[in-house]
Structure 1
Amino acid sequence: MKRILTAIIIMSAAMPCIMAQKSVSSGISRKSATSDTHRTTARGGVNTAAGSATEVKTTDPAWMNVVYRSLDLNDPANAVLYYPEEAADGQDNLFRLMLRLIAGNNITAYEYLDGRENFSETNRLNVKDMLDRFQIMHTDAKGSTERRPLYEIADVDMPSTEILSYFIIESNEFDRRDSRMRRRIEAICPVLHRTEEFGQEAVRYPMFWVRYDDLKPHLALTSVFLSDENHVASSTLEDYFNLNLYNGEIFKTRNLRNKSMSQLYPDPDDLKHARDSIDKRIDAFADALWVPDPEEIARREEMKAASDTTTAATADAPKSRRISAARGASKKADKTVKKKSRSRRSTPAATRSVRNRRK
């Protein structure tokens, strides 16, 4: 009995020590877990901050050519950007999409500058000033504050029918990482065509710039028809731009003097030649990147040899054949002239007979 009581007393005395040890060990484990969590969060925070501070480079260009194009929405290739004129069946045109996103502060727009484009915070667009400048009716949206203004624009107040062209900044790059040529859009600017007085020619007003990368996630959600033959809207505006289905003439290149093509080439013929040569140089650079394989070289030589043989055969043809062919052609021409002269002489006679009947 005494032994049992002694054992109970010893156990009761040891229990507080055991509990204290457990609490200390659990506290240590909780502390280490918490510190690990803090370290993980800190690492994640650093990475997140670094990611937001620096953009991820998607390309490593070894060669680049930047041009500015004007997309005329009267061109059938660019009709996708204009239609539908009114939102229907979940479809919308590009301008209404852009204006809603800007008014709702979902994307950032930048001022259109006469000089070099600068997509920085200092040139961020004041949305209210832009809406007032172009006389677009708007109201304050729900949740709008002084620091974060939001605007609501009715469909009838959106001047989408006056957006008849777009400016785009297009970058043609050769990526050294995968040795591929890429055509990438950097920014888009809607251009308002507005007639101040009836009968006058419309004046073009570039409204604002939007970076394509900011707009891209929303373009991927906007379905469009890319063909009149297929009435299923199975493509998106992102597909349209990624496939380079648009058509536009170059009005400016990125140059040291920051001059437009019309300033560099005042003569219309010189301007057209310069535009064509820029497109040809871009295409030629892409074609010159690859050395043709032996089969391609052999095929080109065969085509050249066949062409030379045809030219030589024509040159070596007997002179009598060439003369007879020329005589035959001249006879046909004489017959055609005679037929035309007969028809011309018959017209006054028919006219006189009608006049005689009237008398």
Structure 2
Amino acid sequence: MKTKLFLILILFVGEISALTAQETARERIERRRQHTVQQQEAGTNIRMEQKNRHNDESIENAKWSRIIYRYLDLTKEANAPLYYPVTPTNGKISLFTMLFNLLQENSIPAYEYLDGREEFTEDYRVNFKELLDRFGIYYETVDGKIVINDIDIPGNEVEGYFVKEAYYFDTANSSFRVRPLAICPVLQRRDDYGSSTRYPLFWVSYDGVAPYARHITVMGSSLNNSMGGSIDDFFRMRKYDGEIYKVQNPRNLSISQYTSTPEEMKAEQERIEQELIDFEKNLWKQENHSFVPQQREVKSRGKRKSPASSSGISMRDRRY
């Protein structure tokens, strides 16, 4: 009799544990659902924002443009706002957590990282479950839905981003512009021997991410904690510090592919940076194109005009 009671008690405890685990998973789903509703309420006009975001001249029609690829190292102080908080804290999340949640909710598409090019087509669209399996990210499946605990999102391992930028001259507005076009989170994993390997996860179009990024705040300065802004502000205002690893070119080569040493690569990066700076500076060099007519000397019967009273304009001073 005691043995039967003992077995019944074990079964009862097991059922309660399973039920509790199931309820925990359901609670996660409900929390995700509420988060999605909040995002939808906050971004009612997100699709309209995406359509009306750029009224300026498209890059394809620009008179001058250059596509630049940078790597943002999140261990650098300037890029730290994109990394923290590693785990969602008090309603604050990092850039990667935002991207991860959007992919899980199927709010934005992501595309495979291909070596040397980006293909934003359905053929290369990322399957979220396959992404989780490929990189060993733990998840549960409850009622056909993928449930992931915040602590299992590998935000701590995403230590960098590839950023694709467009530098171009907008002739419609007579202005020099820099726009982020796409971003790619880079996972960095270390083995037992201390060596690390970078794994680019996926590309996302920045225009698709921007409406959500405007609602995610970051700390703008460690010296002035009142200075803040959104992730979108951080990218639009170019507050990040990233080294150039590639410039769009006919052979589609990265800088490391056509330089031989780290010193050559560094010199090439600095040369490209200086070219971008010089181009922008040269646009705003004001030249006086006004024509100053030569003044005829008026002869007077009185005193002769002294040299000091002349206009002082010489051929060297004139600009045509």
- State the alpha-carbon separation in 2 of the partners of residues 206 and 74 from structure 1: 17
The Cα shift of 1:234 comes to 4.1
In structure 2, relative to structure 1, the CA distance for the partners of 1:131 and 1:232 (3 Å cut) is same
The correspondence of residues 107-126 of structure 1 with structure 2, limited to 5 A, is: 107-126=108-127
Note the C-alpha offset of 1:121. Answer: 1.4
Structure 2, unpaired ranges of 5+: 1-49, 289-320
1:283–1:235 CA distance, 2 compared to 1 (3 A): same
Deviations 1:138-183 (A, max 9, x none): 23466x6xxxxx6332111111111111101011111010111111
C-alpha displacement of 1:87: 1.1
Matched, 1:161 2:159: no
Q: How does 1:63-78 map to 2 (within 5 A)?
A: 63-78=64-79
1:268 to 2:266 alignment: no
Q: Deviation per CA, 1:114-141, whole angstroms, max 9, x where unpaired?
A: 1321111111111111110000112346
Partner Cα separation in structure 1 for residue 86 and residue 176 of structure 2: 35
Q: Secondary structure at the match of 2:276?
A: helix
Q: What does 1:19-58 align with in structure 2 at a 5 Å threshold?
A: 58=56
Matches within 5 A, 1:210-229: 210-229=204-223
C-alpha distance in structure 1 between counterparts of 2:214 and 2:92, whole Å: 12
Paired with 1:141 and 1:218, the residues of 2 have a C-alpha distance of 27
Is 1:183 the counterpart of 2:178? The answer is yes
Cα deviation, 1:56-76, whole Å, max 9, x if unaligned, reads 764242111111100001110
Letter in 1 for 2:104: A
Query: What per-residue deviation string (whole Å, max 9, x for no partner) do you get for residues 20-78 of structure 1?
Result: xxxxxxxxxxxxxxxxxxxxxxxxxxxxxxxx99x976424211111110000111000
Q: Which of residues 201, 223, 229 is equivalent to 1:235?
A: 229
Query: How many equivalent residue pairs?
Result: 236
Distance 1:264 1:242 in 2: 30
Deviation of residue 91 (structure 1)? 1.0
Aligned-pair CA distance for 1:259: 1.1
- In the aligned structure 1, how far is the partner of 2:223 from the partner of 2:157? 27
Contact persistence 1:73–1:79 (CA under 8 A): yes
Q: Equivalent residue of 2:212, what SS?
A: helix
Q: What secondary structure sits across from 2:176 in the alignment?
A: strand
Letter in 2 for 1:59: E
Whole-angstrom distance in 1 between the partners of 2:255 and 2:71: 12
What residue in structure 1 maps to residue 34 of structure 2?
none
Deviation at 1:290, TM superposition (A): 2.5
**Relative to structure 1, is the Cα distance of residues 273 and 234 closer, same or farther in structure 2, using a 3 angstrom cutoff?**
closer
- 2:165 is aligned, of 163, 170, 191, to 170
Residue 200 of structure 1 deviates from its aligned partner by 2.8
Deviation at 1:293, TM superposition (A): 5.4
Distance 2:200 2:99 in 1: 14
Counterpart-to-counterpart distance in 1, 2:281 and 2:259: 27
- Which residue pairs with 1:80 in the alignment? 81
8 Å CA contact retained: 1:223, 1:233? no
Which residue matches 1:94? 95
Distance 1:57 1:129 in 2: 37
Distance in 1, Cα, partners of 2:226 & 2:140: 36
- Secondary structure at 1:86's aligned position in 2? coil
Q: Which has the higher contact order (CA 8 A, sep 6+)?
A: 2
* Structure 2 Cα separation of the partners of residues 215 and 232 of structure 1: 25
Cα pair 1:192 1:204 within 8 Å, conserved: yes
Q: What is the aligned counterpart of 2:246 among 229, 252, 261?
A: 252
Aligned match of 1:299? none
What is the letter of the counterpart of residue 86 of structure 2?
A: E
- Pick aligned residue for 1:288 from 278, 282, 295: 282
Alpha-carbon distance in 2 for matches of 1:141, 1:66: 44
* Distance in 2 separating the partners of 1:172 and 1:86: 34
Cα distance in structure 2, aligned partners of 1:88 and 1:260? 38
CA RMSD of aligned residues (A): 2.2
Structure 1 portions without partners, runs of 5+: 1-51, 145-149, 295-359
Q: Does the Cα contact within 8 Å between 1:104 and 1:151 map onto a contact in 2?
A: no
| Counterpart Cα distance in 2 of 1:291 and 1:232 | 36
C-alpha spacing 1:113/1:57, structure 2 compared with 1 (3 Å)? farther
Tell whether the 8 Å contact from 2:110 to 2:203 is kept in structure 1 after alignment. yes
Distance 2:168 2:69 in 1: 14
Aligned to 1:151: 146
Higher helix share: 1
2:12 matched residue in structure 1: none
Cα displacement string for residues 249-295 of structure 1 (whole angstroms, at most 9, x for unaligned residues): 0111111111111001122221111100101101111111133256x
